[in-house]
Amino acid sequence: MRNISGFFLLISLLISCSDGQVREIKPDNRAISYTGRFYFPDDGRAVSDWPGTSIRCRFTGKSLGIRIKGSSEVQFNVFIDDLPVKVVSCNNGDIISVAENLNKGKHSIQIFKRTESFVGRAEFLGFVTEPGAKILPWNKPPKRKIEFIGNSITCGYGVEGASRHEHFKPETENNYMTYAAILSRRFDADYSIIAHSGLGIVRHYGDSVKVSSDPQMPERYKRTLDSSDSVRWDFTSWRPDIVMINLGTNDFSTEPYPDKNVFNST
């Protein structure tokens, strides 16, 4: 019945939207809180591709929709009032119902990116509320900030797979269940994930040369979006209290190993 009610809510929102009866909340609304690295172009989108990026706010009303554009393989966990309610995939920007039949009063929502950049990037286009509903600021600002730099373990590659031998699927990657996310929740910390499966400090997993030609993690660390070097990250915009680095496994996973002096000097 929950899926059926969600379907009818979506139809209702679509009809209301065509009649101008719903409120479109744009990504630049000051009540919306962003965790992790986002790119905000002039056209109003909020773009992200690193795993674990998060969108949060509170809201009033009995229902809520979101618009997220991107590949259908890019997936998010959705939490309403701190409870997991569904996993959603990006689409072409159509309304996705994420809450329905809620009680009156204030509620919270968190949209958490499960998948990493090679699966695809996401363009958050905003919330869709029912008439008279409001978007409110997040009321629980984290006490600490932690930054994690890593590879597949930090991404959550295959963390929900049946076994270590199962081939990768976007559905089995869930950054929310990694040591990084769990540790951050345990210590009430805001956190940022800079991680990409298979990549190393000097050499990527299974590469035939000692130094990989594709950008390694030290270079990608400077980026706002993992998949693009056109926008550099502003390191003054978010300062972590602590940085945890879990890299090097891919560099020495298979031969030929990188020269130690090259690895140590990078």
DSSP readout, 50-102?
Answer: STT-EEEEEEESS-EEEEEEE-TT-EEEEEETTEEEEEEE-BEEEEEEEE-SP
Tokens of 161: 């797979």
Tokens of 185: 């929740």
Burial class (CB in 10 A: 0-12, 13-18, 19+), 24: middle
| CB contact set of 32 (below 8 Å; sequence gap of 6+) | 25, 55, 56, 57, 127, 135
Q: Is 152 a catalytic residue?
A: yes
Catalytic annotation, pick one of 33, 97, 152, 197? 152
Active site residues: 152
